């Protein structure tokens, strides 16, 4: 129990901070922050599996997050029948062509020895395939994108409940990680970082510009929710009764009936948004706890020990007969799948899919800061990192604004420096995160909650 003292202390402080936000700003904001903290925690668990367990540096987190988001659209949106009619055949044909290209290339690679001729034939098959793809896809894409472009203009999804998309997002991200892992995992650490960063950028640009797939930069809005809608809550009997019950003491203070009704309405509106967010919090918390239990079990299993052995000394582990390439690929897939799950959770929480918002700053580097700050190789640390850094990321601007006002209060309102500083308050978050990262790297390189090695 003594070992867990600092963990419990750190989490209590975090919860306390979020409650402070609830008291001073509003409970709705506090819950939004908490939900995002939980999503970030899932992402950091994924990144921590790769970096903390196996020492793989994956700067492609943005790509998997976006893919998870795409999964939500592909699974939960109702299919656009007309688009399928006009262009579905072409798209299906394209998928077959891609499969055919892969098989032909594989066949050539397996069948013939390494030679110049083989290289040229592989290159020509791929090039010919791409030209064939473009010719087949072009009329289909044009037809699909012209189906009611203001509202649809894409193929739509499968129309399934949105929770399925979380699993599908994880599968999709894992599948992509398999391909990328096959390509890039042999690279040296810093090469791998750059390669994954750039591949993620390619994925996002494909999602952004292939409008038949998920409307691209035109965004998909109004996605399904696993939680009730605020409007439905505000009109349902039981919810209004619940709110009345909770606030009966406050309501009793108001005398006139019309005032009472007005106050109640306001309370119901506030409470409905809090209620919806609480539903999400419950869902996310379940996911985080399940993941935490599984990853914690894995970490202290023989498999986890093997991973750490590989991380700490590849040659020695290899000499002991461990298949490093295979294990690295496996852990790369697992970690990426968890990040994909987080991406799907995030889009579900937002209720909209905006490919334009996927930027490496927010979805790769901030997540990495979370892992480093929290504690590499320790799941509790990684989750805490997600909480702390996300909290700072959101609250840095208001805190900076408060401090600026405090320190420049002796200056007149129109002072140029003061106005400029107040305008640039949102950017202090970069400063806080950057300095935080540098300080942690320097003075506590293992993170807030360092890795614990249990001697067995």
Partner 1 sequence: MDFLNAIIVLFNFTVIPALAYGSQLALGAIFVTLIYAVLRFANFATGDMMSFGTMFAVILTYYFQSLGFGLGVLPTALLTIPFAILMMILYMLIIDKFVFSYYRIKKSPPVQFAMVSVGVMFVTQALIRIIIGPSDRRFLDGEKFIIKATEFKEMTGLAEGITLKSTQAITIIVTLIVVSIMFWFLNKTKTGTSMRAYSDNEDLALLSGIDPKRVVLITWVIAGILATIGGVLYGLDKSYRPFVYFNNMLPIFAAAIVGGIGNPFGAFLGGYVIAFAEIFVTYAYKRFISYLLPEHLEPDSLLQLLSTDYKFAVSFSILVIVLLIRPSGIFKGKVI
- Report the distance separating Cα 347 and Cα 39, nearest Å: 10
What's the min distance (Å) between Cβ of 131 and partner 1? Answer: 9
Residue 36's nearest CA partner among 342, 447, 436, 379 is 342
Nearer to partner 1, 13 or 127 (CB): 127
Interatomic CA distance for residues 261 and 267, integer angstroms: 10
**Min CB(201)–partner 1 separation in Å:** 6
When the beta carbons of 18 and 449 are compared against partner 1, the nearer one is 449
**CA–CA separation, 224 vs 161, rounded Å?**
8
- Which is nearer to partner 1, 227 or 437 (by Cβ)? 437
Distance CA 291, CA 42 (A): 8
Q: Which residues bind partner 1 (CB under 8 A)?
A: 57, 183-184, 187, 189-191, 193-195, 197-199, 201-202, 205-206, 208-209, 361, 365, 368-369, 372, 421, 423-424, 427-431, 433-435, 437-438, 441-442, 445
Q: What is the DSSP letter of 81?
A: H
| H helical segments located in 49-80 | 61-76
Min separation Cβ 301 and partner 1, Å: 26
Determine how many CB atoms are found less than 10 A away from the CB of residue 443: 7
Nearer to partner 1, 178 or 239 (CB): 178
- CB-nearer residue toward partner 1: 11 or 178: 178
- Tokens representing 319 are 């000499």
Collapsing DSSP states into helix, strand and coil, what is residue 139?
helix
Q: Which is nearer to partner 1, 168 or 368 (CB)?
A: 368
Least CB distance to partner 1 at residue 441 (A): 6
**Rounded to the nearest 5 degrees, what angle is found at the Cα of 291, between the Cα atoms of 290 and 297?**
95
Q: State the minimum distance, in angstroms, from the CB of residue 342 to partner 1.
A: 20
Closest distance to partner 1 from the beta carbon of 183 (Å): 6
End-to-end CA distance of the chain: 17
CB of 194 to partner 1, least distance (A): 5
Q: Which C-beta is closer to partner 1: that of 195 or that of 276?
A: 195
H or E segment to which residue 155 belongs: none
411 CB-near residues (< 8 Å, 6+ apart)? 417, 418
């Amino acid at each position: 129990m003594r070992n867990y003292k600092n963990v419990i202390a750190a989490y209590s402080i975090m919860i306390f901070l979020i409650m402070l936000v609830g008291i001073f700003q509003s409970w709705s904001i506090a819950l939004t922050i908490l939900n995002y903290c939980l999503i970030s925690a899932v992402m950091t668990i994924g990144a921590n599996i790769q970096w903390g367990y196996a020492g793989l540096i994956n700067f492609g987190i943005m790509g998997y997050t976006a893919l998870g988001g795409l999964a939500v659209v592909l699974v939960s949106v109702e299919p656009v029948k007309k688009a399928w009619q006009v262009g579905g055949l072409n798209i299906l044909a394209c998928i077959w062509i891609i499969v055919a290209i892969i098989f032909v290339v594989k066949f050539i690679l397996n069948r013939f020895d390494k030679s110049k001729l083989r290289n040229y034939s592989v290159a020509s098959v791929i090039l010919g395939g791409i030209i064939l793809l473009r010719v087949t896809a072009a009329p289909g894409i044009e037809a699909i994108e012209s189906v009611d472009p203001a509202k649809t203009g894409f193929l739509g999804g499968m129309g399934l409940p949105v929770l399925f998309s979380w699993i599908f997002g994880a599968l999709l991200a894992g599948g992509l990680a398999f391909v990328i892992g096959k390509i890039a995992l042999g690279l040296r650490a810093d090469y791998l970082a750059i390669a994954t960063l750039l591949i993620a950028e390619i994925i996002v640009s494909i999602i952004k510009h292939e409008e038949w797939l998920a409307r691209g930069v035109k965004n998909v809005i109004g996605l399904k929710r696993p939680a009730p809608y605020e409007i439905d809550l505000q009109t349902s009997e039981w919810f209004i009764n619940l709110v009345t019950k909770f606030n009966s003491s406050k309501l009793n203070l108001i005398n006139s009936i019309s005032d009472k009704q007005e106050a109640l309405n306001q309370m119901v509106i506030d409470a409905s948004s809090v209620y919806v967010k609480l539903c999400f919090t419950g869902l996310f918390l379940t996911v985080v706890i399940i993941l935490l239990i599984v990853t914690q079990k894995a970490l202290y299993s023989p498999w986890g020990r093997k991973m750490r052995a590989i991380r700490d000394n590849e040659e020695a582990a290899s000499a002991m007969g461990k298949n490093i390439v295979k294990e690295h690929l496996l852990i790369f897939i697992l970690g990426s799948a968890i990040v994909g799950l987080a991406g799907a959770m995030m889009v579900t929480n937002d209720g909209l899919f905006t490919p334009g918002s996927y930027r490496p700053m927010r979805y790769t580097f901030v997540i990495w800061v979370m892992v480093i700050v929290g504690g590499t190789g320790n799941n509790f640390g990684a989750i805490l990192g997600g909480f702390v850094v996300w909290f700072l990321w959101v609250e840095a601007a208001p805190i900076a604004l408060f401090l600026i006002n405090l320190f420049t209060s002796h200056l007149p309102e129109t002072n140029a420096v003061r106005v400029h500083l107040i305008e640039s308050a949102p950017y202090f978050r970069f400063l806080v995160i950057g300095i935080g990262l540098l300080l942690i790297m320097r003075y506590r390189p293992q993170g807030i909650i360092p890795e614990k090695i249990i001697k067995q």
